[in-house]
C-alpha cells in the first residue's frame, strides 16, 4: 500500500510549469529515490511533500489523507541547502526543533538525551554551532531531522559534507529507520547511493516524470542483451577469430590482466549458446549479464529527452 | 498558536541570554544619558562664544551716544578717528577691523530712532544669528530708554517699570481642580517619550529584520517552515522581540527607580541640615526658596495626566513597533545580504523620521493644533506624535481613535508583509525589487 501518493500534480511559477502532471506512489517502509538533473523540479516537488508549498493542481496524500500542514509532525525534512542557528548551543537547537515538531519540553529533553548518547556527542551539548566543524554540524542537522521519529523522511543530498566514516554512520541510520517502518524519500545526484539504498526511483526532467519503478525492474527494462565473458589468458585475436556467430561490442583487459569481452546477443540467440561456444576452447573464469547501471540509465534518459 | 509560542520562546530566550543584551541593559541608560547630556551641554553651552567683543560705535545721533557701553561680553567704544556725532564716510573697511583689533563697527545713521533700518554692523568675520539678535535687542531696549529719558522720565521710574518674571499657567485637572502647569516640563516629558518610542521602533524593528535575514542566509528557514507556517514564524518572531524590548524597558525603569531613589535619599539627608540653622539666616532663606521651587516642580509633576501617559506610551509604543517591525520582517525575508537592505529601509523609515520632526514642531508650537491632530491619526507618524502630545492632555476618544487606526493598519500590514515574507524567504539569488514585492503580494 502506498504511504505517499502524488496524483497529477501541477505547480507553476509565474508562467513556467515546474511540476507538470507528476504522479508518484511511495510504498510504506521503502526508500524512494528521486533523481533529476539540476533545475528539473525536484526541490519544487520536495517542498510540496514537505508541506512548505501546495500544488496548484492535483493532490498529494499521506496515508490516504490529503496532505496538509497538520502532518508536519509526521514529516522529517532535511533540505539540500541547510543550516542551523550559529549562536545557539547544540542542545538548545535540538530542543527547539523537537518542540517545533510538537514535543513537550520534557519529551524533547528525553529524546535529545537519547540521541546525544547514541551518537556519542554528549560532550558537544553546550557548544555553539559556530564552534563545530562542518561534519559535526551535519550530524546535529541529521539528528534534528529524525528526532521526532517521523513516519515520512525527506532527505535531499543527505551525504553531502560527510566524510566516509560519518556517511556510513548516516547510511546505517537510514537503513535502521527503514527497518523500523519509516518511509523515506531520498534525493541525490550520487547514483551509487541510489542503487545501494533505494527500492524504487523516479527520474524528473524539465518538470515531468520521465521514468519510475522498482530499481531492478528498471535495470531489467533497459537490459540490452549484453553479456560479458572473462578469460584467464589474454590472447584476444584467438577468441575473436573463434567467434563467428556472436557480435562483439567491446574487448578489454581488466585490472587483473584478464580479457573481458562484451557480446550483444541477437533475438534468436541465448546466453547458454554463447557460453557453450567458448567453454570448450578457452579458459572462462567469468560469465555475467551486463546490467545497465542507474547512472547509465539516467544519463541515457536525460540526454535523449533534451 | 503553539507554534507561535515555540518561535517566540526561542527568539526571546536566545536574546535575553545573550551577553550583549545583558551588558546593554546595564550600560545603555548610562551611555544614552551621557550622550544626550553631552550633546545638550555642547549645544547650549559649548557653542556659545564668550570671548570679549569690542565694537566701534559711530552715530551722528546724540541720543545714541548716551546708551550703556557695556553688556554681557560686548563693549562699544568710539571710533578714534571720528569725533562723537561726526558723520561716517565708509570708503574702505576700517584697518582696525581688518587687523582684528576690534570685532566690528556699528554705524547708526538713522535720525529717527524709532526705526533702525539704516543701522549697519561692519564685520570681518560674520557674527552668528544669536549674536546679531543679542546686539539688536540690546540696542532697541537702550534706545527706548534714552527716548523715554529724553521725554523726561527719570531713571528710577524706568527701573520701577522694568517687568520681571513670566506667565505661570494654571489649568483644570481631570477632577476639576485648578493646578499649576508647566509647558516646559510637558514638552520635556512628551519629547523624551516620543524619542524612546522612535528609538525602540528602530532598534527592535531592525532586530526582527536581522533575525529574518539570519534564518534565510543560514538556510535554517526551509526546515522551520516545513513545521510552522511562514506567518506563524514571522508573528512569533515579532512578538518575541517585542517581549525582549519590554523586558529591557522595564529593566531600565527599575534601574532608574533604584538610581532616583538613591539620589532622593541622598538629597533628603542634605535638606534637613538648614532647618537646624538659626532663623533668618541667609542659608535658611535659600533653603526655603529651593524648597518652594521643589514644591513647584512637584506640583507640575502632579499635574501630568499619568493615566493617559501610561496608556498612550504602552499602546503606541507597542503599536508602532508592531507596524514597523512587520514591514522590517518582510524586508529581512526578501533580501539576500545586508547590503541590499538599505534601499528598502530608507523609504520605509522616512515616515517615522518625519513624525519625529513633526513632533518637535508640534511640541513647541501647538500640541493640540490642526497639524498635531492630523499626524496623530496617520498610523506611520502617530506613535511619536501622540507620545509628544499626551502630557498636554488629549481626550480619551482621540487616543482610542488613533490607536484603533494604528492597530487596524498593523493588521493590514502584517497580512501584506506575510505574503512578501512567505515567498521572499525561499527566493535566493537575485536582489529583489519593489516590483517583485508587488508581484509576490498579488501572487499569494
CATH number at residue A6: 3.40.50.300
Give the tens place of pLDDT for each residue, B328-369. Answer: 998 988 888 878 888 888 888 899 899 888 888 877 777 788
Cβ <8 Å between B14 and A85? yes
Q: Which residues of chain A have pLDDT under 70?
A: 233-244, 281-282
pLDDT band at B240; cut points 50, 70, 90: very high
- The span from the CA of B371 to the CA of A240, in Å, is 102
Task: Report which of residues B333 and B256 the model is more confident about.
Answer: B333
- The span from the CA of A73 to the CA of B229, in Å, is 13
Query: What is the average pLDDT value for chain B, to the nearest integer?
Result: 81
Choose among B374, B366, B326, B317: nearest CA to B348: B326
B5 to chain A: closest CA residue: A100
CA atoms within 13 A on the CB side of A69: 14
Cβ <8 Å between A88 and B14? yes
Q: Do both A72 and A184 map to the same domain?
A: yes
Q: What CATH code is assigned to B53-155?
A: 3.40.190.10
Task: Judge whether A97 is closer than 8 Å to chain B, CB to CB.
Answer: yes
Element of type H or E holding A9: strand A2-13
- The span from the CA of B204 to the CA of B323, in Å, is 12
Closest approach of chain B CAs to the CA of A52, in angstroms?
5
What pLDDT is attached to residue B31? 79
A94 to chain B: closest CA residue: B10
Distances (CA, A) of A146 to A43, A72, A159: 20, 12, 15
Closest approach of chain A CAs to the CA of B18, in angstroms?
9
Element of type H or E holding B352: helix B342-365
Q: Do both A189 and A231 map to the same domain?
A: no
Q: Which three cell numbers stand for residue B291?
A: 524648597
Q: What is the ipTM of this complex?
A: 0.83
B339 C-beta neighbours (distance < 10 Å), count:
9
B305 C-beta neighbours (distance < 10 Å), count:
17
The reply to whether A283 falls in a domain is yes
B273 pLDDT above the threshold of 50 = no
Query: A–B: how many Cβ contacts below 8 A?
Result: 61
Contacts of B226 in chain A (CB under 8 A): 50-52, 72, 75, 77
**Mean per-residue pLDDT, B426-440:** 81
Q: Do both A215 and A230 map to the same domain?
A: no
Distances (CA, A) of A200 to A153, A180, A187, A203, A224: 15, 18, 12, 10, 21
Chain B residues whose C-beta is within 8 A of a chain A C-beta are 2-3, 6-7, 9-10, 13-14, 18, 214, 218-220, 222-229, 426, 428
The reply to whether A305 falls in a domain is no
DSSP A293: P
Q: Do both A86 and A168 map to the same domain?
A: yes
Q: Do both A57 and A100 map to the same domain?
A: yes
Q: Are B392 and B367 in contact (CB under 8 A)?
A: yes
The reply to whether A299 falls in a domain is no
CA B82 to mean position of chain CA atoms: 50
The reply to whether A306 falls in a domain is no
State if pTM tops 0.90: no
Query: Is residue B115 helix, strand or coil?
Result: coil
Q: Do both A44 and A92 map to the same domain?
A: yes
Q: Do both A58 and A147 map to the same domain?
A: yes
Q: Do both A27 and A61 map to the same domain?
A: yes
B144 pLDDT above the threshold of 80 = yes
Task: Report which of residues A239 and B323 the model is more confident about.
Answer: B323
Q: Do both A150 and A229 map to the same domain?
A: no
Closest approach of chain A CAs to the CA of B263, in angstroms?
40
Give the torsion through C-alpha atoms of A237, A239, A240, A243, to 10 deg. 150
Q: Are A23 and A6 in contact (CB under 8 A)?
A: yes
Domain's final residue, options A198, A220, A242 = A220
Point out which residues pair with A153 in neighbouring strands. Answer: A76, A184
Helix axis angle for B306-334 and B230-275, nearest 10°, is 140
Q: What are the φ/ψ torsions at residue A224 (nearest 5 degrees)?
A: -105, 20
Distances (CA, A) of A220 to A223, A224, A261, A294: 5, 9, 21, 11
What pLDDT is attached to residue A10? 93
Output b/e per residue, A105-138; b: 16+ Cβ within 10 A.
Answer: eeebbebbeebbeebebeebeeeebeebeeebbb
Contacts of A52 in chain B (CB under 8 A): 222, 225-226, 426
Cβ <8 Å between A72 and B218? no
CATH number at residue A243: 3.30.70
- The span from the CA of B415 to the CA of B430, in Å, is 24
Using only the alpha carbons of chain A, give its radius of gyration.
24
Q: Are B236 and B11 in contact (CB under 8 A)?
A: yes
Q: Do both A209 and A241 map to the same domain?
A: no
Contacts of A81 in chain B (CB under 8 A): 219, 222, 428
The reply to whether A160 falls in a domain is yes
B281 pLDDT above the threshold of 60 = no
B180 pLDDT above the threshold of 70 = no
The reply to whether A302 falls in a domain is no
Q: Which three cell numbers stand for residue B127?
A: 557674527
A294 C-beta neighbours (distance < 10 Å), count:
22
The reply to whether A303 falls in a domain is no
Element of type H or E holding B388: helix B382-389
Contacts of A75 in chain B (CB under 8 A): 226
A15 to chain B: closest CA residue: B443
- The span from the CA of B368 to the CA of B389, in Å, is 7
Q: What share of chain B is helix, strand, coil (3-state, %, to 5)?
A: 70, 5, 25
Domains of chain B, by residue range, sit at 53-155, 183-270+300-443
- The span from the CA of A37 to the CA of B326, in Å, is 38
DSSP B46: I
- The span from the CA of B340 to the CA of B331, in Å, is 9
- The span from the CA of A144 to the CA of B425, in Å, is 21
Element of type H or E holding A174: helix A164-179
What pLDDT is attached to residue B274? 43
The range of the structural domain enclosing residue A6 comes to: 2-220
Give the tens place of pLDDT for each residue, A23-66. Answer: 999 999 999 999 988 888 899 999 999 998 889 999 999 999 99
Using only the alpha carbons of chain B, give its radius of gyration.
31
Distances (CA, A) of B279 to A41, A224, B109, B185, B288: 95, 122, 57, 33, 11
Closest approach of chain B CAs to the CA of A161, in angstroms?
15
Q: For chain A, how far is it from start to end, CA to CA, in angstroms?
A: 34
Domain count, chain A: 2
Q: Are B86 and B57 in contact (CB under 8 A)?
A: no
Give the angle subtended at the CA of A110 by the CAs of A106 and A112, to the nearest 5°: 115
Q: Label residue B336 left, alpha or beta by phi (over 0 means left) and psi (-120 to 50 means alpha).
A: alpha
The reply to whether A107 falls in a domain is yes
Pairing of strands B74-78, A152-156: unpaired
Domain's final residue, options A193, A220, A247 = A220
- The span from the CA of A279 to the CA of A283, in Å, is 7
Q: Which three cell numbers stand for residue B60?
A: 551722528
Contacts of B13 in chain A (CB under 8 A): 92
- Chain B interface disruption, residue of A62, A83, A98, most B CBs within 10 A: A83
B430 pLDDT above the threshold of 60 = yes
What pLDDT is attached to residue B162? 77
Output b/e per residue, A176-192; b: 16+ Cβ within 10 A.
Answer: ebbeeebbbbbbbeebe
Cβ <8 Å between A87 and B14? yes
B443 to chain A: closest CA residue: A14
Closest approach of chain B CAs to the CA of A73, in angstroms?
7
A97 to chain B: closest CA residue: B224
Q: Do both A228 and A272 map to the same domain?
A: yes
Cβ <8 Å between B227 and A72? yes
Q: Do both A214 and A264 map to the same domain?
A: no
Cβ <8 Å between B226 and A77? yes
What pLDDT is attached to residue B280? 43
Pairing of strands A183-187, A31-35: parallel
Amino acid at each position: 500500500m502506498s504511504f505517499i501518493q502524488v496524483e497529477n500534480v501541477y505547480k507553476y511559477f509565474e508562467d513556467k510549469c515546474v511540476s507538470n502532471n507528476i504522479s508518484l506512489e511511495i510504498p510504506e517502509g521503502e526508500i524512494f529515490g528521486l533523481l533529476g538533473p539540476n533545475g528539473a523540479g525536484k526541490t519544487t516537488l520536495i517542498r510540496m511533500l514537505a508541506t512548505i508549498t501546495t500544488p496548484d493542481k492535483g493532490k498529494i496524500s499521506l496515508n490516504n489523507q490529503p496532505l496538509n500542514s497538520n502532518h508536519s509532525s509526521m514529516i522529517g525534512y532535511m533540505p539540500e541547502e541547510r543550516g542551523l542557528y550559529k549562536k545557539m548551543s547544540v542542545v538548545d537547537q535540538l530542543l527547539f526543533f523537537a518542540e517545533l515538531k510538537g514535543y513537550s519540553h520534557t519529551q524533547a529533553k528525553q529524546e535529545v538525551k537519547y540521541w546525544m548518547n547514541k551518537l556519542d556527542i554528549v560532550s558537544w551539548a553546550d557548544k555553539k554551532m559556530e564552534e563545530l566543524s562542518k561534519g559535526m554540524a551535519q550530524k546535529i542537522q541529521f539528528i534534528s531531522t529524525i528526532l521526532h521519529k517521523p513516519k515520512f523522511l525527506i532527505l535531499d543530498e543527505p551525504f553531502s559534507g560527510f566524510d566516509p566514516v560519518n556517511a556510513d554512520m548516516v547510511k546505517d541510520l537510514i537503513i535502521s529507520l527503514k527497518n523500523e517502518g519509516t518511509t523515506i524519500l531520498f534525493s541525490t545526484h550520487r547514483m551509487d547511493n541510489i542503487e545501494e539504498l533505494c527500492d524504487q526511483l523516479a527520474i524528473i526532467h524539465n518538470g515531468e516524470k520521465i521514468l519510475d519503478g522498482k530499481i531492478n525492474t528498471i535495470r531489467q527494462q533497459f537490459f540490452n542483451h549484453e553479456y560479458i565473458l572473462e578469460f584467464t589468458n589474454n590472447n584476444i585475436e584467438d577468441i575473436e577469430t573463434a567467434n563467428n556467430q556472436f557480435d562483439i561490442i567491446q574487448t578489454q583487459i581488466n585490472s587483473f590482466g584478464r580479457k573481458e569481452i562484451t557480446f550483444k546477443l541477437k533475438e534468436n540467440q541465448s546466453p547458454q549458446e554463447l557460453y557453450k561456444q567458448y567453454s570448450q576452447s578457452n579458459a572462462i573464469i567469468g560469465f555475467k549479464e551486463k546490467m545497465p547501471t542507474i547512472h547509465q540509465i539516467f544519463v541515457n534518459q536525460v540526454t535523449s529527452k533534451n | 498558536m503553539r507554534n507561535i509560542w515555540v518561535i517566540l520562546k526561542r527568539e526571546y530566550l536566545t536574546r535575553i541570554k545573550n551577553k550583549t543584551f545583558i551588558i546593554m541593559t546595564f550600560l545603555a541608560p548610562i551611555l544614552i544619558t551621557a550622550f544626550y547630556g553631552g550633546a545638550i551641554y555642547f549645544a547650549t553651552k559649548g557653542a556659545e562664544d564668550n570671548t570679549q567683543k569690542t565694537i566701534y560705535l559711530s552715530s551722528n545721533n546724540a541720543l545714541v551716544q548716551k546708551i550703556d557701553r557695556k553688556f554681557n561680553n560686548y563693549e562699544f567704544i568710539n571710533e578714534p578717528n571720528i569725533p562723537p556725532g561726526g558723520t561716517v564716510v565708509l570708503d574702505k573697511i576700517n584697518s582696525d577691523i581688518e587687523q582684528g583689533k576690534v570685532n566690528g563697527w556699528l554705524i547708526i545713521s538713522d535720525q529717527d530712532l524709532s526705526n533702525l533700518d539704516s543701522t549697519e554692523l561692519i564685520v570681518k568675520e560674520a557674527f552668528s544669528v544669536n549674536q546679531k539678535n543679542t546686539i539688536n535687542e540690546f540696542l532697541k531696549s537702550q534706545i527706548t530708554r534714552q527716548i523715554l529719558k529724553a521725554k523726561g522720565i527719570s531713571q528710577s521710574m524706568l527701573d520701577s517699570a522694568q517687568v520681571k518674571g513670566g506667565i505661570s499657567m494654571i489649568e483644570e485637572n481631570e477632577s476639576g481642580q485648578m493646578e499649576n502647569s508647566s509647558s516646559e516640563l510637558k514638552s520635556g516629558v512628551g519629547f523624551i517619550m516620543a524619542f524612546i518610542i522612535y528609538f525602540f521602533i528602530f532598534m527592535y524593528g531592525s532586530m526582527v529584520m536581522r533575525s529574518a535575514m539570519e534564518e534565510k542566509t543560514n538556510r535554517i528557514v526551509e526546515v522551520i517552515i516545513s513545521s510552522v507556517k511562514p506567518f506563524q514564524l514571522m508573528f512569533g518572531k515579532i512578538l518575541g522581540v517585542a517581549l525582549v524590548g519590554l523586558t529591557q524597558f522595564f529593566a531600565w525603569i527599575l534601574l532608574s527607580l533604584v538610581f532616583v531613589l538613591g539620589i532622593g535619599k541622598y538629597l533628603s539627608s542634605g535638606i534637613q541640615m538648614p532647618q537646624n540653622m538659626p532663623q533668618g539666616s541667609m542659608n535658611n532663606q535659600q533653603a526655603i526658596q529651593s524648597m518652594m521651587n521643589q514644591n513647584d516642580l512637584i506640583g507640575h509633576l502632579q499635574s501630568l495626566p499619568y493615566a493617559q501617559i501610561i496608556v498612550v506610551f504602552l499602546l503606541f509604543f507597542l503599536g508602532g513597533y508592531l507596524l514597523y517591525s512587520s514591514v522590517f520582517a518582510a524586508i529581512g525575508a526578501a533580501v539576500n545580504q545586508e547590503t541590499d537592505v538599505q534601499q528598502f529601509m530608507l523609504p520605509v523609515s522616512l515616515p517615522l523620521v518625519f513624525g519625529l520632526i513633526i513632533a518637535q514642531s508640534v511640541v513647541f508650537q501647538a500640541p493640540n493644533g490642526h497639524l498635531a491632530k492630523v499626524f496623530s491619526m496617520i498610523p506611520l507618524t502617530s506613535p511619536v506624535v501622540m507620545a509628544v502630545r499626551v502630557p498636554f492632555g488629549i481626550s480619551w476618544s482621540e487616543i482610542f481613535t488613533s490607536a484603533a487606526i494604528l492597530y487596524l493598519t498593523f493588521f493590514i500590514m502584517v497580512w501584506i508583509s506575510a505574503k512578501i515574507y512567505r515567498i521572499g524567504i525561499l527566493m535566493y539569488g537575485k536582489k529583489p525589487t519593489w516590483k517583485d514585492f508587488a508581484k509576490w503580494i498579488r501572487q499569494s
